[in-house]
Chains A and B, each alone.
Chain A
Amino acid sequence: MAPPKLSGHPTEGAVTQRCRKVLPDCRILPGIIRVSDHETENHLEDIPLEALPLDAWHRARGARMVPFAGYEMPIQYEGIVAEHNWTRESAGLFDVSHMGQLVLSGPDLDAAVEAVLPIDLSTLKLGQQRYSLLLDEEGGVLDDLMVSRWPEALYLVVNGATKWDDMGTLREALPDDITMNYLDERALLALQGPKAADVLARHATGEYPLSALTFMKFGRFQIAGHDVTIARAGYTGEDGFEISLPAEAAAEIADLLCAEPEVKPIGLGARDSLRLEAGLPLYGHDLSPETSPIEAGLIFGINKRRRTEGGFPGAERINREIAEGTARKWVGLKIEGRLPAREGAEVFSGSDKIGIVTSGGFSPTLQAPIAMAYVASEYAAIGTQLEVEVRGKRLAATVSPTPFVPHRYYRGN
């Protein structure tokens, strides 16, 4: 794949000026050459790993660092199960600075973005955040992302492993007069868990109290004198927040939050087991260009008005699948015994292979193996008895409702 052309890039001065209205420290998408072909594993291995703003902070806290999305990231500190349970019972701080934070602005912004994403921006008001999907022309999933309405701009959070490709795709698809800023001087922290709101309210001040934020709302606040934006959202199924902050303030704010007795730092390992219990898809595993959002049960990512109007990449296939159904569906599986079924395990009904596991592991909360799998639609009904094969052994599996562990989002009183 050739590097996407980043045509229509305004001069840096103009961009910086425009983006200062939104945030003080964002700057132009850096280095056109960095938006290039990162598709193959081999290629990724050739690219040296980069350090995130909190790299030294993680190491000082005893994190085991592993390569992830082109960075060295903490997989765990004291242990995945302890960190998992701590997040479900108290509050965990996750460094998700590898994710891409983008700001789009320019004339007729909503129409331009609606031509690229299946989102209905007429119903996305200032201070609201919504889940959306970046689709290819065939309706395959290139990424899943969050879109927030900022004053005269849209703020996007995209996956770390896909962010460079996403920027290329967006730049190609958006008109030249739409400016895309990559906020590479912002870090992103997630504070998740039942005690997250109490803890954060001690530190976040703004025009209105933090408690006014309900699930999928965001606002501008200050923490320790730093300008931050806070969204009430996350990837654990718990109540919680995602805090976008200046990279140079990340260690100070992480220290401040972890000094609270309710908070411990949590690694990527527990992030994965938490999101699996919450039934949330992980891009590159549960979602890919080979999967459609309708098979994955993500119809809510195709907003209602767009389902009838179309006009986004892949609309023809998406709308056909909404009308006629899909040949396979993404379902939850509860597995008997203690042996986990991992990604790639085949799913059987009798001797027929009818599906494949895309995410699986051992649920610390349920103390049992759970998995997500694509199965032929006739086997997707809740309660269907299936089998999963692990190292030649057939394990009994039951199609189960998701989330496996109930979500506890704060939607207001």
Chain B
Amino acid sequence: MRYYTDEHEWIEVEGDIATVGITDYAQGQLGDIVFVELPEVGAMIEQGKDAAVVESVKAASDVYAPITGEVTETNSALEEDPSLVNNAPEDGGWFFKMTIAAPAELDKLMDEDGYKAFVEGL
């Protein structure tokens, strides 16, 4: 099941692990991404708080944690090739995987159709 936030992160839930990235809309807004600063594996991150930083040619943008949990893995491919976020934002350009500390947080997120409608309204 894939969820979306109004801050343009996506979160794919498989069992008790969630994979997090930014949406195609977000990467389009940011432009050419040259660096992604990922959280440390083992870090506890809190819903709505800073989790990562995306640097485009023009500016640095914060990526917020879509839910609360512990970071279990980060996408090391982004170190070599940050443009994965531009080219495959909702696939190979994922940011990190995390545990789901409070499953109820997921209930407040959007599904794909809901996010689509949200973006169309922007």
Contact = CB atoms under 8 A, between A and B. Distances in A.
Interface string B34-47: 11010000000000
Contacts of A79: 31-32
Given A81-B57, A362-B57, A364-B57, A391 B32 contact: no
B31 A362 contact: no
B55 interface: yes
Given A81-B57, A361-B58, A391-B53, A338 B31 contact: no
Interface in B1-50: 31-32, 34-35, 37
Contacts of B32: 79-82, 364
Interface string B52-87: 010111111000000000000000000000100000
Interface of B: 31-32, 34-35, 37, 53, 55-60, 82
A400 to B, nearest CB: 19
A391 B37 CA distance: 10
Contacts, number: 44
A84 B56 CA distance: 14
A84 B32 CA distance: 11
Contacts of B35: 338-340, 362
Nearest to B60: A342
Contact of B82 (A75, A338, A342): A338
A272 interface: yes
A362 B55 contact: yes
Which of the listed residues B35, B56, B57, B60 has the most CB atoms from chain A within 10 Å of its own CB? B57
B55 A339 contact: yes
Contacts of A82: 32
Nearest to B59: A342
Contacts of A273: 57-58
A339 B38 CA distance: 12
Given A82-B32, A269-B57, 10 more contacts: A79-B32, A80-B31, A80-B57, A81-B31, A81-B57, A272-B58, A273-B58, A339-B37, A340-B34, A369-B34
Interface string A4-30: 000000000000000000000000000
Contacts of B53: 391
A169 interface: no
A362 B59 CA distance: 9
B34 A338 contact: yes
A96 B104 CA distance: 51
A132 interface: no
Contacts of B56: 80, 362
B82 A269 contact: no
Contacts of B59: 342
A76 interface: yes
A120 B35 CA distance: 46
Nearest to B79: A338
A269 B53 CA distance: 20
Contacts of A340: 34-35, 55, 60
Contacts of A76: 31
6 contacts: A79-B32, A80-B58, A272-B58, A338-B34, A342-B59, A362-B35
A269 B31 CA distance: 10
9 closest A-B pairs by beta carbon, nearest first, are A81-B32, A362-B34, A338-B35, A80-B57, A339-B35, A362-B57, A269-B58, A80-B31, A340-B55
Interface string A186-211: 00000000000000000000000000
Nearest to B56: A80
Contacts of A272: 58
Contacts of B60: 340, 342
Interface string A224-265: 000000000000000000000000000000000000000000
A79 B34 CA distance: 13
Contacts of B31: 76, 79-81, 269
A236 B1 CA distance: 48
B25 to A, nearest CB: 13
A364 B58 CA distance: 11
A340 B34 CA distance: 8
Nearest to B50: A391
A40 to B, nearest CB: 22
Contacts of A364: 32, 57
Interface in A91-118: none
Contacts of A75: 58
A116 B37 CA distance: 48
A324 B82 CA distance: 47
Contacts of B57: 80-81, 84, 269, 273, 361-362, 364
A272 to B, nearest CB: 7
